[in-house]
Structure 1
Amino acid sequence: MASSTLTLKFFSLLISSLAIVQMAMADPDILSDFIAPPNGTVDGNFFTFTGLRVLISRAEPTDFTVLKATMAEFPALNGQSVSYAILQFPAGSTNPPHTHPRSAELLFLVDGTLEVGFVDTKNNLFTQTLQAGDLFVFPKGLVHFQYNADSENPALAISAFGSASAGTVSLPSTLFATNIDDMVLALSFKTDVATIQKLKAGLSPKP
């Protein structure tokens, strides 16, 4: 009987802990219309983000580019559980495999074509070729990618997130640009240290 009680307490503690972790990963509900900055004036300017105006005047980028409107760039999003990103894909460019740990991503393709896909927790790969005007959803936390396979034309997409700070974990950078031990990576990828070092060198910041 004592063993059963101990087991029940253990599972209750485990379930409570998981609930707390889940709550910590989600945007918290707020008890006011918005979260005002600790110092500063709240007027129309506070609720306006002008950081995307550069899209109107600047030249097309030569590499894949992301312009973000998250809580970090746009403080008025704090507590609102929404954010945006504008994705610019020059011909033949890719947004490498990555995850967003705190939100799903709803991508709208404005112009061009994109090859997109994600892998679920059973290692099933789901892919699609998007045309301008299409929407595609990447489930929360799953590894996904986008690729402009067109060798001549750029593509432009808008991504919406259900979090003011969805977070991005880029797999190439996370694995090969964070000083994880070469032997750990070599064993994990069933290759040799020399190959891992070549991958790391390729991801080193350009001088």
Structure 2
Amino acid sequence: MTSLKFHPTSDILTDSIVPANSSGNAIGGSFFAFTGMRKSFYEFPPNFTVTKATVKEFPALDGQSVSYALIKYPAASINPPHTHPRSAELLFVVDGILNVGFVDNTNKLYTQTLQLGDIFVFPKGMVHYQSNDDPKKPAAAIAAFCSANAGTVSVPLSVFATGIDDVVLAKAFKTDVATIKKLKAGLAWQA
């Protein structure tokens, strides 16, 4: 007879985690359903958008080590370089063509052009991006994460919109303070 053994790195310790402010008996099937992406399939916004299904938006994910995001890329748009500190990302292209890439810890860049139905994995914590280079057609992808809260750290915002002194940034990027101020001004709409 074989028995199941608990894997010490697993974070799933219960079937599900019921919110503290509710009774377990009051939870029904709707607790385990997320409908927040329905409207996203019928409209294409003019700007890059991410519709998330993380533990924040979908409490049933608490303790499940999974989450999703629907990412929409208008023509000629990007998902700027970023990382997910608590998860790998599995990107599935459901519309259009995307150019993607990530940088490993030796600063080697891995890139690929993805078409409808293609999947790409971004390893946990690695800086990565996606780009829709088509000037006329939008693209869309679904991202799956091995965390209920993968987190997102935007490289441009974390460097230029967090209050790091302009002199420090100018030295780090081997440029002048005026150039740093221009870069910060260009990111002001995203902060």
TM over 0.5: yes
SS for the counterpart of 2:178 is: helix
Where do 5+ consecutive residues of structure 2 fail to align? 1-7
Name the count of aligned residue pairs. 180
Q: Deviations over 1:74-131 (max 9, x none)?
A: 1110000000000100000000000000110000001100000000011110000001
User: Which of residues 151, 157, 160 is equivalent to 1:167?
Assistant: 151
1:154 alignment partner AA: P
> How well do the aligned residues superpose, as a CA RMSD in angstroms?
1.5
Q: How many percent of aligned residue pairs carry the same amino acid?
A: 64
TM-score, normalising length from structure 2? 0.90
Q: Shift in Å at residue 204 of structure 1?
A: 1.1
Answer yes or no: is 1:51 the counterpart of 2:36: yes
2:34 alignment partner AA: F
Alignment partners' CA distance in 2, 1:56 and 1:98: 24
Q: Deviations over 1:24-81 (max 9, x none)?
A: xx8x624321000111231111111111112144x31111100000011111100000
1:35 alignment partner AA: I
Alignment partners' CA distance in 2, 1:31 and 1:105: 23
Aligned pairs for 1:42-191 (under 5 A) are: 42-57=27-42, 59-191=43-175
Alignment partners' CA distance in 2, 1:136 and 1:56: 21
Aligned to 1:35: 17
Q: Counting helix residues as a fraction of each chain, which structure ranks higher?
A: 1
Alignment partners' CA distance in 1, 2:108 and 2:13: 40
2:146 alignment partner AA: G
Alignment partners' CA distance in 2, 1:177 and 1:84: 27
- Bigger Rg, structure 1 or 2: 1
Q: Shift in Å at residue 150 of structure 1?
A: 0.4
Alignment partners' CA distance in 1, 2:151 and 2:13: 24
SS for the counterpart of 1:133 is: coil
Alignment partners' CA distance in 1, 2:140 and 2:154: 20
Runs of 4+ in structure 1 off by over 6 angstroms are none
Q: Deviations over 1:148-170 (max 9, x none)?
A: 00011000100000000000000
Aligned to 1:14: none
